[in-house]
Structure 1
Amino acid sequence: MFAQLSALLPSACALCGEHGKLVVCAACHAAFLNVRLTRCMQCALPLPREDTGGSSRCGACLTDTPAFDHTVAACNYAAPLDQLVLNLKFAHHLALAPVFSAVLRDAILEQRGTPLPDLLTMVPLGQNRLAERGFNQALEIARPLARHLGISLEPLLLNRSRETAQQSGLHPDDRQKNVRNAFMLAPAMLDRIKGRHIGIVDDVMTTGTTLNEIAAMLKRFGAARVSNYVFARTLPH
């Protein structure tokens, strides 16, 4: 019955508006979501193909090594894909979350030889923002991703110890102060992370400050490795 109703309801590609059954049509998927770049293995910023210098890490990560070990980004946070992220986060287009998850899964599995995490979690929202929005977009992406990869998801692994301002609205110099000591490990989860590889899911990685703060905290409590899995990576201005 649901399939029959779905066939009768109008549907359009979230990018081009073409009518069809897919949230993102095959043409837009091929043009925008199937593009692979050579990226820094640690922060996922694009690297020039012809000038990696024999390293898979960018100069910034070699100079000032982040607390996290690895980052997979499915795409860049740029037009037109940035609008998809905004539609998920602020327009409640939850049908986009499984699309993001599937594209991220493909990007992860293409990195052969890179170990998968022992468990997944996501960047938590503060209670005020969660109540205002009604959902955590990172969790909506993480749920199907965990199923795709066959990895346990621990949505209550992390908590915010205090409300923070939106990172996107802050000057880069203020972002570290904003998230410093803002995340806690749930006490019941201490034994779940010791000596293990933890994967953190988020929709967008901007400067990496939030993910770095989380990784540093997890390693203080005994995590052996921390990897980030993000749908989109913001490019430096």
Structure 2
Amino acid sequence: MRCQPNSKHQVYNWLKSKQICLLCDEHTDNDQAICSCCEAELPWLGGHCQVCALPLPSQGLVCGACLKKQPSFSKVEVPWRYAFPVDSLITRFKHQAKWPLGRLLGELLSHHLQHAFDEGLPRPDLLLPVPLADKRQRQRGFNQSDLLAEWLSASLQLPQQAHWLQRVIDTPAQQQLDAATRKRNLRKAFALAPGSTFSGLHVALIDDVLTTGATAESLARLLKKAGAARVDVYCLARTPKPGD
């Protein structure tokens, strides 16, 4: 079983004056572990729904699903489509414990969020990683959302609480399920930790990928019932609509 990495002893030296790009293995032209050319070729989101970030043909639109029923969360903020090479980087981080790749993605997400804050996105009071069931976390050895929340907290100087959300039912893996099945899977899957308080808070859920939004909706609904004033979602990538 893999161990959760110690944030004070990272597995990659981020203080090197000359970084090596983790995608092309060339020296970078900046202080990040990705060169400008590789960064420019990432699948940046472009046009998307202003609520759930579903990829759309142009900017400033709201998708049909969000127009039909407003989600419990207010906004999804995400830099990329779930496409190559970001999909591969996330998979290697999440399922192969390639923590330097996750650290790189978290750093780029932090820059994206800081730019969004500068452009008027309200800063949250608290970051909350999406929880894993205990059994799945033991098998994987870590929760990728915990690590992302920890890195974002340090970079953006926002508090985070890793244990205020709990997954009390270990549902089947969601990746291959449709939206309706995902929703059924997640009924009563989450709970709030004893002593946690959300009254009047603006909170942001942290996850790696948003697919149907069922997990985010379930957690946002739970947090709103607990008194949260606003719930946003920050993640690395958004999947396009099937067939797009």
Shorter chain as denominator, the TM-score bin is: 0.7 to 0.9
1:72-112 CA distance string (max 9 Å, x none): 01101111210001000111100122211222122222321
How many residue pairs are counted as aligned between the two chains? 224
Superposed, 1:1-237 pairs within 5 Å as 13-16=21-24, 18-20=25-27, 23-32=33-42, 35=44, 37-49=46-58, 52=60, 56-111=61-116, 112-190=119-197, 193-237=198-242
Aligned-partner residue type, residue 95 of structure 1: P
Secondary structure, counterpart of 1:169 in structure 2: coil
Secondary structure, counterpart of 2:235 in structure 1: strand
Secondary structure, counterpart of 1:227 in structure 2: strand
1:12 CA drift (Å): 6.1
**Bigger mean CA deviation after superposition, 18-27 or 135-144:** 18-27
Secondary structure, counterpart of 2:195 in structure 1: helix
Q: Distance in 2 between matches of 1:41 and 1:195?
A: 23
Q: Distance in 1 between matches of 2:108 and 2:209?
A: 14
Instruction: Give the unaligned 5+ runs of structure 1.
Output: none
Q: Distance in 2 between matches of 1:153 and 1:27?
A: 33
Superposed CA RMSD in Å reads 2.3
Aligned-partner residue type, residue 109 of structure 2: L
Aligned-partner residue type, residue 240 of structure 2: L
Q: Distance in 2 between matches of 1:62 and 1:110?
A: 27
Q: Distance in 2 between matches of 1:80 and 1:136?
A: 21
Moved over 4 A (4+): none
1:194-230 CA distance string (max 9 Å, x none): 0110110001011100010000000011001000000
**Bigger mean CA deviation after superposition, 169-178 or 208-217:** 169-178
Q: Distance in 2 between matches of 1:158 and 1:231?
A: 20
1:150 CA drift (Å): 1.1
TM-score normalised over the length of structure 1: 0.87
1:169-200 CA distance string (max 9 Å, x none): 3233211011111111112112xx10110110
Aligned-partner residue type, residue 31 of structure 1: E
Aligned-partner residue type, residue 173 of structure 1: A
* % identical aligned pairs: 36
TM-score normalised over the length of structure 2: 0.84
Cα gap change, 1:143 to 1:78, in 2 (>3 Å)? same
Q: Distance in 1 between matches of 2:49 and 2:195?
A: 34
Q: Distance in 1 between matches of 2:126 and 2:178?
A: 33
1:36 CA drift (Å): 5.0
**Bigger mean CA deviation after superposition, 135-144 or 167-176:** 167-176
Contact kept? 1:23, 1:96, Cα under 8 Å: no
Secondary structure, counterpart of 1:46 in structure 2: coil
Looking at secondary structure, tell me which structure has more helix per residue: 1
Instruction: Give the unaligned 5+ runs of structure 2.
Output: 1-8
